[in-house]
């Protein structure tokens, strides 16, 4: 069953990237992240109330709470970097770099969580890494004037924080119901995101957001919430080194939608890279 939740997480995550890309086209990425987090917070606590897990709040240990908070900070860092990268670069370039967090997560799952690193997992790491390299190879004509490869830096940081989120989250949700754990983590992300907005003094730009941008930002918040709920339910029961790669299959959905709605096309080399990433990920299920 946890595999189905992992695939559900991938589906909603793939849709999120496209909705967010459209929403932040004319909106500051940090403000968009803060708004999305409000939607996710409401959504996550509604799920807590539906399943009745709020009654378990007094039973959460200090250790569990610590790791939930730490994973929340890692999530916030990943989001802020990811959506800044999306704002600066193409979806079909940013997404593969972000999804390369699979590699670091598998290594950390072996080192920190004690999960087995088999030969086939090692081969998959190499295949996924090669696929990512092919997908992010750039053409000079695609570089944006004055921005260069700044999107790549944000995308790399997004991947690092995302891998830390998975490991910290895995430890944190072992002692708490997954919906409640997600809701607690979201509070941390919300505080972090809005603090950044006020520190950079961009709160005045909230009133300048057009209806279309606001709609897509809110929709991306809803799909993120659905992705999170599926992801942490899968992570609570399944192996992090398997759940994370399945979740990263959202790249297929993202690339397909970026072609249909954003008119972003893949080169032959990038398509080969996508195939390698998918093959490497699916091989992990063997």
Measure the CA–CA gap between 188 and 192, rounded to whole angstroms. 6
Measure the CA–CA gap between 280 and 98, rounded to whole angstroms. 16
**Domain regions of the chain by residue span:** 2-283
Find, among 235, 170, 286, the residue nearest to 10 by Cα: 235
DSSP code of residue 7: H
Measure the CA–CA gap between 95 and 167, rounded to whole angstroms. 20
Contact 235, 169 (CB under 8 A): yes
Which pLDDT value is given to residue 39? 93
Which pLDDT value is given to residue 166? 85
Contact 157, 96 (CB under 8 A): no
The per-residue pLDDT string of the chain (286 residues; one tens digit each, 9 = 90 and over) reads 788 998 999 999 999 989 988 998 889 999 999 999 999 999 889 889 988 889 989 989 999 999 999 999 999 999 899 999 998 888 888 988 988 887 888 888 888 888 888 888 899 889 989 998 888 765 544 444 445 678 999 999 999 999 999 889 888 877 788 889 889 999 999 999 999 999 999 998 998 999 999 999 999 999 988 997 888 788 878 877 778 778 878 888 899 889 888 888 888 898 999 999 889 888 877 6
Taking CA atoms, 198 is separated from 30, 33, 61, 206, 222, in Å, by: 10, 13, 32, 11, 24
Which pLDDT value is given to residue 174? 77
Which pLDDT value is given to residue 153? 92
Residues in Cβ contact with 65 at an 8 Å cutoff, skipping those fewer than 6 apart: 172, 184
Contact 262, 18 (CB under 8 A): yes
Contact 195, 73 (CB under 8 A): no
Which pLDDT value is given to residue 139? 52
Burial class (CB in 10 A: 0-12, 13-18, 19+), 271: middle
């Amino acid at each position: 069953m946890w595999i189905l939740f992992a695939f559900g997480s991938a589906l909603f995550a793939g849709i999120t990237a496209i909705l967010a890309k459209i929403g932040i086209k004319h909106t500051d990425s940090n403000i968009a992240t803060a708004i999305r987090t409000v939607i996710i917070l409401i959504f996550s606590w509604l799920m807590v109330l539906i399943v009745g897990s709020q009654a378990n709040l007094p039973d959460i240990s200090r250790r569990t709470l610590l790791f939930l908070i730490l994973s929340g900070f890692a999530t916030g860092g990943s989001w802020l970097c990811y959506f800044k990268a999306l704002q600066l670069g193409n979806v079909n370039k940013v997404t593969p770099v972000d999804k390369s967090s699979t590699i670091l997560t598998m290594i950390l799952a072996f080192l920190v969580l004690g999960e087995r690193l088999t030969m086939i997992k090692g081969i998959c790491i190499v295949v996924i890494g090669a696929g990512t390299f092919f997908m992010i190879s750039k053409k000079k004509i695609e570089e944006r004037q004055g921005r260069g490869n700044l999107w790549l830096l944000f995308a790399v940081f997004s991947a690092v924080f995302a891998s830390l989120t998975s490991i910290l989250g895995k430890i944190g949700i072992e002692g708490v119901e997954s919906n409640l754990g997600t809701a607690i983590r979201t509070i941390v992300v919300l505080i972090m995101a809005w603090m950044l907005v006020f520190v950079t003094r961009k709160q005045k730009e909230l009133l300048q957001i057009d209806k279309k941008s606001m709609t897509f930002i809110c929709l991306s918040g809803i799909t993120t919430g659905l992705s999170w709920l599926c992801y942490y339910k899968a992570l609570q029961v399944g192996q992090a080194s398997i759940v994370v790669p399945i979740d990263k299959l959202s790249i297929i959905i993202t690339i397909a939608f970026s072609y249909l709605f954003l008119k972003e096309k893949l080169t032959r080399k990038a398509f080969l890279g996508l195939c390698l990433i998918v093959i490497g990920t699916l091989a992990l299920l063997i």
